[in-house]
Structure 1
C-alpha cells in the first residue's frame, strides 16, 4: 500500500492556480472574440435575459422588506446572484464579463477590431434580451404582486438610477465591474459547478448590496420602471406625483447607461489588464512588443532563464501526450475529465499543461507544428467548454 503522504501528493488541487487561471482567461477570450455573429447574438440575448431574471428576483425579495437597510441589501444581492450564475454555468455572452477579453488583446492574440466587435454585438444583444424579459414580466403582471408593491419597488429602483449624477454613476460602474470580473476571474479557478456558484455569490452580493451600477442589469431595471410609471395603480400605491418620476424615461435611461457603461469597461478591463501584467507580461513580451509598441514601457524582452526541461524535452513530451490522446480512448477521457492526473509523469511546464487542459490549439501548434484533424477537433471542443 502507498504511504498516506504519497497519496496526498497525488490528489488533484482544490482549485486552479492563478498562473493557470490567466491562461484559461486568455484562451477563453480568444474563443469568445472569434465566435460567428449569430452565435454571439444568441448568447448575448441569453445573457441579457439571465441578468434580467436576477433583477426580477432581486426586485421581488426586496419588496416591502423590514430587515433594515443593510440586511435588505444583502438579501437583494444574494437573489441577484442568480443572474451571473446562469450566465456562467448555462453559458452565454455578457458584456461586463467580456471586458476580460482585453487579456488576449494585450497578448496580441486578437485584434482591436475583434475586441470591439465582440463588445458591440454583445452589448446590444444583452439589451435586446433584457427588453424581451421586460415585456414578458410586464404582461405576466408580476408587478401587481403584493397589492402592486412589487411594481412600486420596480419604479423606485428605476427612479433612483435615472436620478444618479454622471460622476457617481461612473464610479459606481467602475466598482461594480471590478467585482463582477473578479467573480468571473474566480470561476477560472473552479473545478466544479458548485465551486463556480460559490465564488460568484459573494462578489455579486457585494456589488448589489453596495449600490454599484451594472449596465446590463439597468437594461432591465430602468425599462421595467418606465413601464411601471405608466400604470396608475402603481403610481397610486407608490404615492408619488408625475413630477417625482419625471426622469423615468428613455432619455433618463440613456443618461444612466452612458456613465455606467464607461465605468463598467474601465473597472472590468482593469481586472483583466492587472492579471495579465502580473502573470503574462514577461511570457508574452516578444510578441507584445512587436504588435503593441505602446506596451513596450510595461514589458521587457529578457533572456529566458534556463528551465529544468529544455524545449526539445517538452516538445517530445507534448508529442507523446498528443499521440496517446489520439490512439488511447481511455487516456483521452482521463485527459478531458482530470487533466492533472492524466499528465502526471510528463515533463511539461504549467503553461503546457494549461494549454492541453483548455485545448489551446494555437499554443500547441506553435510548439509541435500542425496537428492532425482528429486532435484539432478534440482540442477545439475542449476550448469551447471554457466559459465565463
Structure 2
C-alpha cells in the first residue's frame, strides 16, 4: 500500500518546507514562473471548456491538472509555500528564520507573477489574432471574470474587501490541503487524485487564488476589461494574497502540523498501567 500516515505526512511537510528555503533565488524565479504559467494555461483551458459546454463545473473538473503539473514537477507556488514554510519554522529548522521565510515568499511571488502575466500576454495575442480581430467568446468570458474579481468587490466597498479576503482564505485552505495531501501517498496516480479533489473544491466554488488571479485579471485587462492597476491590486491581489496566507498557514499547514506532529524523542514515556483501555479493547490503539 502507498498510503502514508498523518504523522509521516507532517515529517514530509517540514522537510519540504526546509528544502524550499535552500533553493537559490534564480531557481525560485524560474520555478515560480513555470508554476504561474501552468496555472494560467489551466485557467484558460477551464474557461474555454466552461464556455463551450455552458457548465462551469466541466471547466472546474479540468483545472486541477495544472496544479498537478506545478506540484509534481516541483515548481514553486506561493500558496503552497504559505502552508509549508511556517511548519519548518515552528519545527525549529535552523534555516527557517522569519527573514528567510519572508525572502522566499517574496521571490516566489515575483516568479509566479512573471510567469502568469507572460502567459496572459501570449494568450491575449492568440484570442485577438494579434490585435487584428474581435476577441473570442473565451476572451469575452475572461473580461467578465476580471471585472467580477475587481470592480464588483469595489462596488461593495468594505464588505467587498471582507468577502474577497474570506474567499482567499477559503481557497488556500483547499489548495494548501492539496499540497499537503499529496504527501499522503507515494504513487503518481495517488498524488494526482490527492491534488485533484481539494483543487476542484476551490475552483468550482469561485474562491480566490492569488496566482490564478495574476493571470486572469491581466489577460482581462489586455482584452478590454474596465479594470485599472489599482483595481487589480487594491480590490483583489493584495487582499487575496493575505487571505491565501491565513488560510494556507493556519487552517492547513500549522493545524495539521500541531495535531499530527510526531512525539519528541525525548518526551517522557507514559506511566506503566496494569489495566488500560487497550487491555479492555484490544483493537484500540492510540497510534495512527
What's the TM-score, normalizing by structure 2? Answer: 0.84
CA deviation after TM superposition for structure 1 residue 120, in Å: 0.8
Distance apart, 1:89 and its partner CA: 1.7
Encode CA deviations 1:52-94: one digit per residue, 9 max, x unaligned.
111111121111543xxxxx23212122112211111222000
- Asked if 1:102 is matched to 2:90, the reply is no
SS at match of 1:140: helix
Q: Secondary structure at the match of 2:63?
A: helix
Given that residues 53 and 82 in structure 1 are in contact (C-alpha distance below 8 angstroms), is that contact kept between their aligned partners in structure 2?
no
Deviation, 1:210, is 0.8
Among candidates 137, 150, 166, match of residue 161 of structure 2: 166
Residue 28 (1) aligns with residue 16 (2) = yes
**37, 40, 43: which one pairs with 2:28?**
40
In the alignment, structure 1 residue 225 sits paired with structure 2 residue 220: yes
- The alignment partner of 1:91 has SS state of coil
Alignment partner, residue 210 of structure 2: 215
> Which residue matches 2:247?
267
Q: Which residue of 2 aligns with 1:196?
A: 191
**CA shift for structure 1 position 99:** 1.1
Secondary structure at the counterpart of residue 23 of structure 2: coil
8 Å contact from structure 1 (residues 78, 204) kept in 2: no
Answer whether contact 2:7 2:262 (CA < 8 A) is retained: no
1:90 aligns with 2:90: no
SS of the residue aligned with 1:96?
helix
Distance in 1 (CA, whole Å) between partners of 2:80 and 2:209 is 11
Shift of 1:16: 0.6
Q: Could you list the runs of 5+ residues in structure 1 that have no partner in the other structure?
A: 1-12, 67-71, 230-244, 287-301, 308-349, 351-388
CA offset digits 1:162-181 (Å, max 9, x no partner)? 12221110000000000001
What secondary structure does 2:2 align onto?
Answer: coil
Higher relative contact order (Cα pairs below 8 Å, separated by 6+ residues):
2
1:76 paired with 2:76, answer no
Cα RMSD after superposing both structures: 2.3
The equivalent residue for 1:303 is 268
Asked if structure 2 preserves the Cα contact closer than 8 Å seen for 1:172 and 1:212, the reply is yes
* Contact 2:127–2:135 (Cα < 8 Å) also in 1: no
- Counting only pairs closer than 5 Å after superposition, residues 298-377 of structure 1 correspond to structure 2 as 303-305=268-270
Q: C-alpha distance in 2, partners of 1:185/1:135?
A: 32
For 2:117, which of 97, 114, 131 is the aligned residue? 131
TM-score (norm 1): 0.63
1:206 aligns with 2:206: no
Quickly say closer, same or farther: Cα 1:34–1:205, change in 2 above 3 A.
Answer: same
Please say if residues 142 and 150 of structure 1, whose CA atoms lie closer than 8 Å, have aligned partners that are also in contact. Answer: no
C-alpha contact 1:48 1:125 (8 A) present in aligned 2: yes
Unaligned runs of 5+ in 2: 154-159, 273-286
**Pairing 1:244-283 to 2, within 5 Å after superposition:** 246=226, 248-255=227-234, 256-270=236-250, 271-280=252-261, 282-283=263-264
CA distance in 2, matches of 1:22, 1:74: 32
**1:261 Cα offset (Å):** 0.5
The C-alpha deviation readout for 1:257-287, integer Å capped at 9, x for no partner, is 1110110000000111111111227528x9x
